[in-house]
Chain A
């Protein structure tokens, strides 16, 4: 920090000094872990960050906090069971319509596509 600040109020100067002190402290802790000569070399890895670890642990343990409620059950039903049932019905309808037309002779042999798949 410069010794004279012409365009800042004393409160702003004090706040900037506090921020700089916090930053220096954190930077010193980071450098202590990163450049520690007593740590094992060649091991790789990264400086441990508790915030990143908390996020990753949260993502991994999400299912442990799952509760079956009417909302989650409806979500599961609507997103998984109903679409599968819908597509099953679509396939069933297409296949039975085609089968019925073939058996009634409405589709000639030459018009049946993909015979040789």
Chain B
């Protein structure tokens, strides 16, 4: 593991030397990260006193490095600008900081790396975004996250000094923590979860996401949708178990996230901007992820992890496709972009495959995640079927609307140029599609992080509807 970190860090000088060497070095790092998954699938692996992880951490690190590789490939136009080395450096730093965040076993250092990840993404959005609106988008991204994470810092310090608990490993072993009063429970619940809910994002604190995703360059959009939202999901998967007995908080969050999914699905249907539509669809999917987590069932939590990974690949690919259209048409508008089935037929296949994945059509991993989450939601509270049905139906509706808006219809006669596809772009899309659709054959692996780990015994016993492995 330390070898991997040193390999990572040694890449930094390469960013000033060569674009392609850095790219190849990242592929090598990805292969090493796969070895972590192979060794750490049924236990918590500690590399030293503060770095370690279980299967969930390692899978998310692999996803981070994979998305970093693909986002560097997708940003090839930046190679011709003078500041390309600084751009590469920002991407690599972000990849490194995110990997370290997923590995932190101490809450305080986790918080530090969680906040540090904001700096490179802020610089990427501000430095390489396309419109002047990126200034406001960067500020929204920064201040929403910072405002919500200050209570998180206070709660972590309180847990450390008063409740004598400062480990992410032991967060699942919550039997030793007795909250003194309901007021303390509520304050700690809000403080702990708010930062991750803003990052996820939850429906009512989601305003930063459409702005940041739309104004970011393609690399920024890919890493935001692919990994940064999953930081919030990762934090929630680790820390929500502390508040398992605070049922009322779960009820409020559950209805907010699922109703938010429905509202956001309706908002998607009247979008005119391609990237904004994909950004809002991310909010709907993350609402389902949060719903799965709040049930505290095995299917719910594992389904949440599966949907997070599947969404990371699918959404990142959709942003890539939107950028492919944008590079040729210089517009993100659905009204002006129609007819790509005739102008860019090679990409129509990929548009269809990823739009189908977005609506959880088989054989994508999204299907497995949504089935698991829907099963756990319906078994948790049957009255949620209305919201779940609406979420799924609207997901299909806006996905088809996106496909029809970009591919069908007349080609705009005012377009100045028709251009061909590049092999690089087709490769990026294939590398998104392959893990998304072939992982379904081994998706039981992703159920392992809860099912076979010894943490299962602690996390699921005591809840009346779950099985106790004793």
A interface residues, Cβ below 8 angstroms from B: 30, 34, 39, 41-47, 49, 52, 55-56, 59-60, 79-80, 83-85, 87-88, 90-92, 94-95, 99, 102, 112-117
Contacts and interface: CB of A to CB of B under 8 A. Distances in A.
Residue picked from B247, B375, B412, B414, most chain A C-beta under 10 Å: B414
A50 to B, nearest CB: 12
Given A44-B419, A117-B300, A117-B375, A102 B255 contact: no
A61 to B, nearest CB: 10
B327 interface: yes
Nearest to A102: B464
Given A87-B255, A90-B383, A112-B465, A46 B329 contact: yes
B251 A91 contact: yes
B256 interface: yes
Contacts of A44: 327-330, 415-417, 419
Interface in B193-229: 204
Nearest to B253: A88
Contacts of A49: 414
A91 B464 CA distance: 16
B283 to A, nearest CB: 14
A116 B297 CA distance: 9
A87 B258 contact: yes
Contact of A88 (B252, B300, B336, B465): B252
Contacts of A91: 251, 254-255, 381, 383-384
B259 interface: yes
Interface of B is mostly: helix
B415 A46 contact: yes
Contacts of B295: 117
A55 B251 CA distance: 41
Interface residues of B, number: 46
Interface in B240-296: 247-248, 251-252, 254-256, 258-259, 263, 272-273, 295
Residue picked from A59, A88, A91, A95, most chain B C-beta under 10 Å: A91
Contacts of B255: 84-85, 87-88, 90-91
Give 3 closest A-B pairs by Cβ, nearest first. Answer: A114-B379, A87-B255, A45-B330
Residue picked from A47, A60, A87, A102, most chain B C-beta under 10 Å: A87
A115 B379 CA distance: 9
Contacts of B10: none
Residue picked from A79, A84, A116, most chain B C-beta under 10 Å: A84
A87 B253 CA distance: 10
Contacts of A117: 295, 297-300, 375-376, 379-380, 465-466
A92 B248 contact: yes
A87 B387 contact: yes
B73 interface: no
Residue picked from B375, B381, B419, most chain A C-beta under 10 Å: B381
Given A94-B381, A115-B467, 14 more contacts: A30-B414, A41-B417, A42-B417, A44-B329, A45-B417, A46-B330, A49-B414, A60-B133, A80-B259, A84-B252, A87-B387, A90-B255, A92-B248, A95-B251
Contacts of B465: 112, 114-115, 117
18 contacts: A41-B417, A43-B416, A44-B415, A44-B416, A44-B417, A45-B331, A46-B415, A49-B414, A60-B273, A87-B383, A88-B254, A90-B381, A114-B465, A115-B465, A117-B298, A117-B375, A117-B376, A117-B380
